[in-house]
Amino acid sequence: MKRRSLFLNTTAIMGFIFLYAPMIALIVYSFNKSKLVTVWGGWSLKWYGELFRNEQIIDAALLSLKIAFISASVAVILGTMAGYVLSRFGKFRGKMIFSGWITAPLVMPEVITGLSLLLLFVAMEGLIGWPSGRGTGTIIIAHVTFCMAYVAVIVQSRLSQMDETLEEAAMDLGAKPSSLFFLVTLPLIAPAIISGWLLSFTLSLDDLVIASFVSGPGNSTLPMVIFSKVRLGVSPEVNALATIMIAIVAIGVIAAMFQMRRQAKLLGRQD
């Protein structure tokens, strides 16, 4: 048992080092005074100041945050509806096809997804005149397309594990379908919805390939700007920006964990 425990602990430590050592190095070098990323020149906040004076990066970051927020919010609504239908509506005609359509973006290569959406937007513009060119709207539609698949899978999994007797008891007490969903089902699946929103937000914020296909001039997202800069050499400003993004994501994950624990405690008290 001791050897097994030592092996598991060693494996876990090595896994954490493999995952987080690059991030820690990036955070440390974001406070590097030297302009050369690989040469340590002492501690400094210089590049954070330079970052906030770089209008190109700031505009791209604000655009990416806007797209990610809208995409995640819309994806949560559509994905929750899809997951609810797949979990609660039993067998219906076309369920297999509908389930396949929902999960297809999970396994589809991003290049194929981006190219197919680009061709779709071009064809729609030629037929009905919308969307007029590629820009923020087309990026949001593209991100919602693949983000809602993740939300649907997460919500469906949560609903399949949920105790249906709570919903049955509410119906026996006279709850209408709409009241049942908003007062009973929705609070119970709230942790899954929050997780789906955070995952969608992260995926949208991180996307480069699909956005490159469906974006237009003047609508470069943050990953597109960073990628163009990295091709010419990593700038210390990029390290500072990445550190801020890591901090934002970490705060969101911690907040979600506290919400899930709070929800679990409430369910434990009800039991």
Residue 117: the pLDDT is 93
Can you read off the two tokens belonging to residue 158? 């949560």
Query: For residue range 72-118, what is the model confidence (pLDDT) as tens digits?
Result: 999 999 999 999 888 877 777 877 888 888 888 888 889 999 999 99
Question: Which amino acid does the sequence have at 15?
Answer: G
The domain 55-270 is placed in CATH, from the list 1.20.1440.230, 2.40.30.260, 3.40.50.2020, 1.10.3720.10, at 1.10.3720.10
134-143, 169-178, 254-263: which has the highest mean pLDDT?
Answer: 134-143
Confidence bin at 138 (pLDDT 50/70/90) = very high
- Asked whether the CA dihedral 5, 6, 9, 15 is positive or negative, the reply is negative
Confidence bin at 265 (pLDDT 50/70/90) = confident
| Whole-number percent of the chain with pLDDT over 90 | 30
* CB-neighbour burial class of residue 209 (10 A; exposed 0-12, middle 13-18, buried 19+): middle
Residue 4: the pLDDT is 65
Q: Is the pTM of this model over 0.85?
A: no
Kind plus residue range of the DSSP H or E element containing 93: none
Query: For residue range 164-212, what is the model confidence (pLDDT) as tens digits?
Result: 777 777 777 777 777 778 888 888 888 899 889 989 998 999 899 999 9
Of 261 and 189, the one with more pLDDT: 189
